[in-house]
Structure 1
Amino acid sequence: MQVIDWDLAVATGTRLVRPGPQVSREEARQAVSELRTLSREAEGHVREFTQIHTETPPQPATIVDRPGWIKANVEGFRVVLEPLTERMSERQNQTPAIVTAVGSRITGVEVGAVLAYLATRVLGQYELFLPPDPSGQEAVGRLTLVAPNIVNAERELNVHPRDFRLWVCLHEETHRVQFTGVPWLREYVRGQMTEFLLASDLDLPTLMERLRQAADTVADVVLREGDGNLIEAIQTPEQKAILDRLTAVMTLVEGHGDFVMDAVGPAVVPSVVDIRAKFQQRRAAGGRFDRTIKRLLGLELKMKQYAQGSAFVTAVVDKVGMEGFNRIWTSPETLPTLDEIADPDSWCRRVLGSDALPA
């Protein structure tokens, strides 16, 4: 049973996505080559600074265009949603075939449209969930950089291209170091996502109620610029607790990425102060339509995660040093809760003990 028509999602996304900036063939070749080189350079800086080491051999980043990013994310979605697909297949006899067929095509178009929007904005990402490799030789994750978006951003910001590219690589390579250097972290995130999906109420009355709530949320955000988002609108009470845990860990990893980027940057990126100031302005900018879409998709929450997570990491490292902070990667039990991210001292007391804090 297919919950989402994935082929239609890819076709819709690649058809709707806007083309990247105009570049010559030589400019494109140079950008791809430099991003690959800088990703390797950034990885060394990140490992040395974070003191997180791994047996995984370094890999150059995968450089894609906007349609390539859409295809890669559809592959990841298929892996993430596999448990939900299997459960719904068990209930296939309860749902008329025509409803399943039409529903999968509708969601395929919707997913494609969302990905087309995001594909113009994402600079890079560490892809946690890839289709299984039959040979077992490929890495479990993949660092992807979206070359057209990086080039477009550096032009809009009017910043030094090489400096900006290395700065972006520092953030994204931090995610690769996190998930390859902390062996349990990937499966923890995947387990929480699976638990979130399987906590859904799949009976028809509940589904219709969730859709009604989603429609109310869209109206509130679009017409009155409310604060809701679609994820909050359709989640069950059981999912709320799981989402809090997911939000906490993603706030940590995103904030850690921003912290490392800004801590390493001054030593290796000469124009980092100019880049950070302009990039912050870019994050906060956007017209009403852009702000509305960000609210609906929960992207404004992601912007807050960068700031909250970075403030938490900064506070802990200032108090107990990098070695003390790295206790955070010991196990799922040492990860901070959302409340502890807002109160770093409480995490230090719980995990490190009161003696770890300065008098």
Structure 2
Amino acid sequence: MSDSPFGFGLPPEEPEDGDEGKKKGPAEGGQGAGGNPFGFGGMPGGGDNPFAAMFGSLNPSDLGAAFQQLGQMLSYEGGPVNWDMAKQIARQTVSQGTPDGTKDASVGPAERAAVEEAVRLADLWLDGVTSLPSGAGTAVAWSRAEWVEATLPAWQQLVDPVAEQVGAAMGNVLPEEMQAMAGPLIGMMRSMGGAMFGQQIGQAVGALAGEVVGSTDVGLPLGPAGKAALLPLNVAAFGKDLSVPQDEVRLYLALREAAHQRLFAHVPWLRSHLFGAVEGYARGIKVDTGKLEDAVGGLDPSNPEQLQEALQQGMFQPEDTPEQKAALARLETALALVEGWVDAVVHEAAKSRLTSADALRETLRRRRASGGPAEQTFATLIGLELRPRRLRDASRLWASLTDARGVDGRDGLWEHPDMLPTASDLDDPDGFVHREHLDFSELDKMLGEAAGGGKRDQGDEPEQGPGKREQGEDDSDK
């Protein structure tokens, strides 16, 4: 049991031998849908006690700095998450290296040139398998620390709505008539809550930086718009034991990154749709304030272990509300459709050009199925577990749509969220493809009439609509 009453901690300066928890860090607290999104019961890797981390191994000469850091934690007056602390801890986690001993390093000119060439070639190959134009204005090679810096704004947008709801419950735990008298205590609770969230997120993002290969591994646009990014150090680690030439590994991962960039650049509603689903999940959180009141009311000031035990027993665990279920279902389905489209498009582009395309595709699929770092981080931060089965179903659906509708017809479904398959459609991809194939003949006719400024002659058959002509052209190119 930790000596800390709050169950959060700064990472130690050096990783301990045999400490595999840091690699799995984001996963330890994840409970899936309806679970504890922030894993308040403590963090892995021996870092579950902030005060032990700051004081336990310090020399007396270091105590001043430690007290200063503690003062900064208690004086925090910002939003629901102390993002300065999150950034600091993420950078510290990155500097420690991964459990296999790999340390972060600056990216050299040769690695940058290799990434730029891989993305350029990937975009050229993708031109033949999707109607969406390139979305990567630039190609960049990042170190792990640069990935942290570039993606923190997106993490803030994802996590703040969830932390806001939980933080509000922490501040409202006392009866209203007591809140005026307990102002300083409530302020301290919120400051500590912001620090607690910042620590959890910082460790999760720092651990993820040691695993991701690009800016879109979690199916969301985490980096700046228009920048296709790869992390050469992590790309090399990914392909280390695959018996695949490094150039092929880099190119395949560049295809995935470039495909994501196309989708997010040319489907303008997609980003807000995905992030909005997270906000919808946050609005559905119903923290058990009864447990909070009981825990705070029964606290013995001489026994801070009580709060730690209450945290571990799920005092902040959100209820499994219908609102949460609906929001999570929307998000999981949308992410599956994004990842499935990328999987199908990349496979089409690579299968005839890379001898290792099938092996790399299966490796990435197994990585997701075994609970890869992206899924673990989401489970920790927002209570979301991606369902790999959905990704495979979505990939099969997009491939079937390509056969039935052609490239333009398939990609046209991204024009509006209402046109996309639903979760039930992923259960029956062939049924969706057959039904949509029939419905689209009439839609093509209406679109053609609108484009022509009036009705077509009655003799025009639906098969002469733009979708059918484009499909024929696509087929002739095969």
User: Cα deviation per residue 1:117-157 (whole Å; 9 max; x = unaligned)?
Assistant: 22222111336366xxxxxxxx7454332221101112232
Comparing both structures, which one devotes a greater share of its residues to helix? 1
Q: Which of 123, 128, 146 is residue 68 of structure 1 equivalent to? A: 146
Q: Contact between 1:201 and 1:207, CA under 8 Å: does it hold in 2? A: no
Larger radius of gyration: 2
- Report SS of the residue matched to 1:268: coil
Structure 2 unaligned runs (5+)?
Answer: 1-77, 174-185, 295-307, 442-478
Q: Which of 10, 29, 48 is residue 109 of structure 2 equivalent to? A: 29
Structure 1 unaligned runs (5+)?
Answer: 131-138, 218-229
- Matching residue's letter, 1:177: R
1:347 shift after superposition: 2.6
Match of 2:84 in 1: 7
Determine if the alignment matches structure 1 residue 184 to structure 2 residue 269.
yes
Q: TM-score w.r.t. structure 2 length?
A: 0.58
Q: Contact between 1:66 and 1:119, CA under 8 Å: does it hold in 2? A: yes
User: Cα deviation per residue 1:282-321 (whole Å; 9 max; x = unaligned)?
Assistant: 66679xx99x968954787354443232122123323333
Q: 1:90 to 1:141 in 2, by over 3 A?
A: farther
Q: 1:142 to 1:299 in 2, by over 3 A?
A: farther
Determine if the alignment matches structure 1 residue 50 to structure 2 residue 140.
no
1:253 shift after superposition: 0.7
Number of positions where the alignment pairs a residue of Structure 1 with one of Structure 2:
330
Equivalent-residue separation in structure 2 for 1:44 and 1:234 (angstroms)? 48
- Report SS of the residue matched to 1:168: helix
The correspondence of residues 128-147 of structure 1 with structure 2, limited to 5 A, is 128=221, 140=225, 142-147=227-232
Equivalent-residue separation in structure 2 for 1:214 and 1:304 (angstroms)? 33
CA-based RMSD of the aligned residues comes to 4.1
Match of 1:119 in 2: 209
User: Cα deviation per residue 1:29-55 (whole Å; 9 max; x = unaligned)?
Assistant: 32222112211221232233111237x
Q: Contact between 2:171 and 2:189, CA under 8 Å: does it hold in 1? A: no
Match of 1:133 in 2: none
Equivalent-residue separation in structure 2 for 1:278 and 1:190 (angstroms)? 28
Q: Contact between 1:317 and 1:325, CA under 8 Å: does it hold in 2? A: yes
- Report SS of the residue matched to 2:80: coil
Q: Contact between 2:130 and 2:345, CA under 8 Å: does it hold in 1? A: yes
- Matching residue's letter, 1:14: R
Q: Contact between 2:81 and 2:163, CA under 8 Å: does it hold in 1? A: no
Q: Which moved more, 1:332-341 or 1:84-93?
A: 84-93
The correspondence of residues 157-236 of structure 1 with structure 2, limited to 5 A, is 157-201=242-286, 204-205=289-290, 235-236=320-321
Query: What percentage of residue pairs aligned between the two structures are identical?
Result: 23
Q: 1:354 to 1:62 in 2, by over 3 A?
A: same
- Matching residue's letter, 1:198: R
Question: Larger RCO: Structure 1 or Structure 2 (Cα < 8 Å, ≥ 6 residues apart)?
Answer: 2
Equivalent-residue separation in structure 1 for 2:292 and 2:415 (angstroms)? 39
1:353 shift after superposition: 3.2
1:85 shift after superposition: 7.1
Determine if the alignment matches structure 1 residue 80 to structure 2 residue 153.
no
Q: Which moved more, 1:72-81 or 1:170-179?
A: 72-81
Match of 1:110 in 2: 200
Equivalent-residue separation in structure 1 for 2:293 and 2:123 (angstroms)? 47
Equivalent-residue separation in structure 2 for 1:103 and 1:259 (angstroms)? 42
- Report SS of the residue matched to 1:51: coil
Equivalent-residue separation in structure 1 for 2:293 and 2:277 (angstroms)? 25
User: Cα deviation per residue 1:73-111 (whole Å; 9 max; x = unaligned)?
Assistant: 322122334556778899997471011011111111111
Equivalent-residue separation in structure 1 for 2:113 and 2:353 (angstroms)? 19
